[in-house]
Structure 1
């Protein structure tokens, strides 16, 4: 089921998410995960965190394949230089805890399904190690790099009540203030279901 995505301005996006209960029925969890993937793909996203669908729980899904796909020429160039092309990752992260973020921070233009029409350069570390449970509640500790690490960091921030716009300079935040206020009121073009603060209906 495609769910409405909560827009910036809703308090759930600024709230630190709570751990997902260990006794949550498996069928309920699998339904939630399936709905989150369906919602993410419908909105052409590469990641979606539970707070973005109004649930302040520590759960997010990603599929970084669309971001890291290269055409054949680019792949051949990398291979000729002895470099391995990045491979995308589709994964469920339950109750994640960031273990480490390392390397020289690098900038990349990010967007967010909760803030349609806004894209800005964000600095993030290229390598991470994260501990998490998968969809079967099995525990893992795993390292990720490059664009996949960035997607994970972006979604992990949602669980901490942090939006990518919070990471911008004071000057850039000031420039965006009016636009973000309009988005929170529903004054924005979007091609997927959204829920705006203060609105009882869904658009």
Structure 2
């Protein structure tokens, strides 16, 4: 049975570590972690979550885009576990959009990300998957991928002026979309 896990916050040293490679996708601990991450993201209104955010420093994250209170315009998709992911190519086009993070509550930042990426990852069944992602889902992937290398979205801000509170984001940005 899956459970909601505690999400560690900015300042915890695990968020700044490079996560370890997952050696055995079929390990019961990894399979339970996948289920727990899916539950945790859903209960926290996240559109993705990385294992380091729950103090498990392994190269695994969930992309789970769906409309919710934090991202009302997010596209709907099935939660997908991505193990040992890689970005194999990316567009030259970069766009900025607002991001938040479950490990940095109350803050949003205007973050530049590649508009389109080609990725590879191992799925929860141990199969290699190759995909091209664009727009919001590509942004989620890049955000979660950063967590595996100890990078948090605030590190990507081009200016401290590109940071606002969650409350202001909901009041001005979401309201105007």
TM value normalised by structure 1: 0.72
Q: Which runs of 5+ in 2 are unaligned?
A: 166-177
What number of residue pairs does the alignment pair up?
160
Residue 21 (structure 2) aligns with: 19
Q: Is 2:113 aligned against 1:124?
A: yes
Residue 46 (structure 1) aligns with: 47
Equivalent residue in structure 1 for 2:102, among 113, 121, 143: 113
Q: CA deviation at 1:28?
A: 2.4
Q: CA deviation at 1:147?
A: 0.4
Residue 96 (structure 1) aligns with: 85
CA distance in 1, matches of 2:77, 2:112: 20
How do 1:71-90 and structure 2 match up within 5 A?
Answer: 88-90=77-79
Change (3 A) 1:104 1:68: farther
Q: Is the 8 A contact 2:81 2:124 kept in 1?
A: yes
Residue 158 (structure 1) aligns with: 147
More strand by share: 2
Change (3 A) 1:99 1:18: same
Deviations 1:98-119 (A, max 9, x none): 1112142111110000000000
Give the superposed CA RMSD: 2.3
Q: Is the 8 A contact 2:50 2:144 kept in 1?
A: yes
Residue 7 (structure 2) aligns with: 5
Q: CA deviation at 1:24?
A: 5.3
Deviations 1:114-147 (A, max 9, x none): 0000001111111001110001111112111110
Change (3 A) 1:12 1:127: same
Please identify the structure whose Cα radius of gyration is greater.
Answer: 1
More helix by share: 1
